[in-house]
Structure 1
Amino acid sequence: MSQLPLVSVICLCYNHARFLRPALDSVLAQTYPNLEVIIVDDCSTDNSVSIIKEYLQAYPQLRFISTGKNVGNTTAFNMGWRASHGQFILDFATDDVLLPERISQQVQQFQQLGPEYGVVYSDAEYISDSSEHLYLHSQKYKPAANGDVFAEVLRRYFICPPTMLARREVFEDLGGYDETLAYEDFDFWVRSARKYKYAYLPTVTTQRRLHQRSLSTGWYRPGNKLLASTLHVCRKAAQLLRTEEERQALAQRLKYEARHAYFSGNFTEAGELLSLLENVAGKQPVLYYLISTLNKHKVDLGFLRRLYQRWRHGR
């Protein structure tokens, strides 16, 4: 065991009482022997802390941190990883489930890669509230990417966040997650992929749970802080561009975000995204000039997005 690198699993809990036992059991069932497990509770208001205390009593090797007040995912995670000592860091939300070989497989892949690789990610199975199979990440988001993925993370969503295992140096270089943001994934990908390479493991290692309280369910609701965070990250990304491919990739992302912001009635964010698109692309394409004009006058065409959602997703 002493020759194996220490892996720190930062278990983030906020009102996950319904899912907490299978989540923690999945960490304890890992075949990888050299683990440091830190449970961070962000002031849950359900029965989560009582369940955590049961596990702490039964498994004294577990460590526990309470945030003291509700601080959000980014700050709670930073508290956890900064208290850890592992060579590798796993950000684990306690509504998800790790498969038993998860950490062993990813550490083994890291041991075959050079130090320029900062992140290993994998395929995942999406499950429902009741743990029923929904679909595989690789079926919906393909193809995966390896190596220098900076342009690709600007262009599109393809990494399932809970499948990532990262070198400690990555978090040290970045200073952890940006605590001003409402969510961490996009910003972490942009900043880490600028310096480090990514490797894909084409194996299902994780079950990601989709439920009504999932962060992404209200992404484009008016006033949602997630969209404002996306805008902030896009501005950061614009300062990191080096090539024409990267510029086009960010422009593609901005078009997508601006469309959805406008058609969901987020007129302020849509305007700022369209302005950034003009700066990045040099000029606004005709369609986006039209959207910009409609957006300035707050012409509500949200019914078109609702019709599309019903056609595309049956809702």
Structure 2
Amino acid sequence: MTTPLVSVIIPNYNYGRTLGECIAATQRQTYPNIEVIVADDASTDDSVAIASRLGVTVLETDVNAGVSTARNRGAERAQGEVLFFVDSDVALAPDAVAEAVEQLLADERLGAVCGMYQAEPMFPDSLVKRYRAIQQFVWFTEIDGPIPGLHSALFAIRTAVFREIGPFNDRLRWTEEQDYGFRLNAKYVVLATSTVTGRHDHDGTLRVMLTKVFQRTRLGAPNWVRLRALPGGAGSGHRALGSAFLLAAVAALLLPIVFGPPALLACPVLAGISVALDGRTYAYAYRHHGVLFGLQFTVLHMLVTLTSAVAAGVGILQGLLFPRMTRRLYRVGTPA
């Protein structure tokens, strides 16, 4: 295999607690020809000092402008023929870059090679982190192959292709990877592979996790409707339907007011259908971590599922009521 220079670009904002491990993981790569660039987005913690101490190139912005701006700035300074973007809360497996480059160079039709999260978080110090790691691991592993979106947290792309497609949309702070994935898929194949992995330090509190789920789903939903595509794999449709059933189950709690106590049976029936539609996710938690953790996982996953359902409904309604806003946000039919 040829060994072109790979520029590993790490966008960062106030992730000093994980940045050191992220950089160290890039420096432990088996691939021999790497430059590491930390694009710091005006952090107020000790991120810049950590990165500087570890001997990598550090770029700093004057004001916090978002992850898209940080990624774009890192790409502008990169010298490599291949760009490997990895978020500052992800520690790559030692062979991640080598595996990505090998697959990327083997097929000119590939626009990007995306990696997947491992089933354990970088720092398993909270129940919410462990839940989120399992949830995303299960969802990622069902889409080993071409995908309609992009896993922006860890992916490799030829520099020439990045220049052709253009930079990340700096208007987007929550859905930039969905937008870029759709743009990239218009000309190339985007591949997700389980041979490229990393440990992600997932959100540690319920409030932060649910806030991110709500915002990303709400902002992404109008674009999914516009493009008639979901960003996930084959199970995305089942899970979306399962979210709707769980929302209906909550709404069914009001049925006894009109139809009497027997109508309350609709709630567990609808909730059971929701669980069945996402059965693979629940089954993994119980099978690998036991009943106690499985019950905790179930509660958290239902909260996330319900949050997604509400957010999708709000987002779709916003898209229908304000279509020009969605088109302008994603630069559809407007000047760049």
Shorter chain as denominator, the TM-score bin is 0.5 to 0.7
1:73 aligns with: 67
Tell me the distance in 1 between the aligned counterparts of 2:166 and 2:116: 27
Tell me the distance in 2 between the aligned counterparts of 1:124 and 1:234: 23
Letter of the 1:168 partner, please give it.
T
Tell me the distance in 2 between the aligned counterparts of 1:139 and 1:231: 22
Q: Residues 266 and 169 from structure 1, CA distance in 2 versus in 1: closer, same or farther, beyond 3 angstroms?
A: same
Deviation at 1:175, TM superposition (A): 1.3
Asked if 1:103 corresponds to 2:93, the answer is: no
2:118 aligned counterpart, secondary structure: strand
Letter of the 2:183 partner, please give it.
R
1:271 aligns with: 317
1:24 aligns with: 23
1:111 aligned counterpart, secondary structure: helix
Tell me the distance in 2 between the aligned counterparts of 1:200 and 1:265: 26
Asked if 1:230 corresponds to 2:220, the answer is: yes
Calculate the TM-score normalised by the size of structure 2.
0.63
2:190 to 198, 222, 229: 198
Q: Residues 53 and 116 from structure 1, CA distance in 2 versus in 1: closer, same or farther, beyond 3 angstroms?
A: same
| Count of aligned positions | 251
Tell me the distance in 2 between the aligned counterparts of 1:125 and 1:38: 24
Asked if 1:4 corresponds to 2:3, the answer is: yes
Tell me the distance in 2 between the aligned counterparts of 1:262 and 1:96: 24
Tell me the distance in 1 between the aligned counterparts of 2:312 and 2:151: 26
Letter of the 2:68 partner, please give it.
T
Tell me the distance in 2 between the aligned counterparts of 1:112 and 1:263: 40
Tell me the distance in 2 between the aligned counterparts of 1:66 and 1:13: 10
Output aligned runs, 1:38-187, within 5 Å: 38-55=37-54, 59=55, 62-113=56-107, 115-128=108-121, 130-131=123-124, 134-135=133-134, 137-147=136-146, 149-150=147-148, 153=149, 160-183=151-174, 184-187=176-179
Deviation at 1:71, TM superposition (A): 0.6
2:280 aligns with: none
Ranges in structure 1 where 5+ consecutive residues have no aligned partner? 154-158, 278-315
Ranges in structure 2 where 5+ consecutive residues have no aligned partner? 248-305, 324-336
Tell me the distance in 2 between the aligned counterparts of 1:142 and 1:130: 21
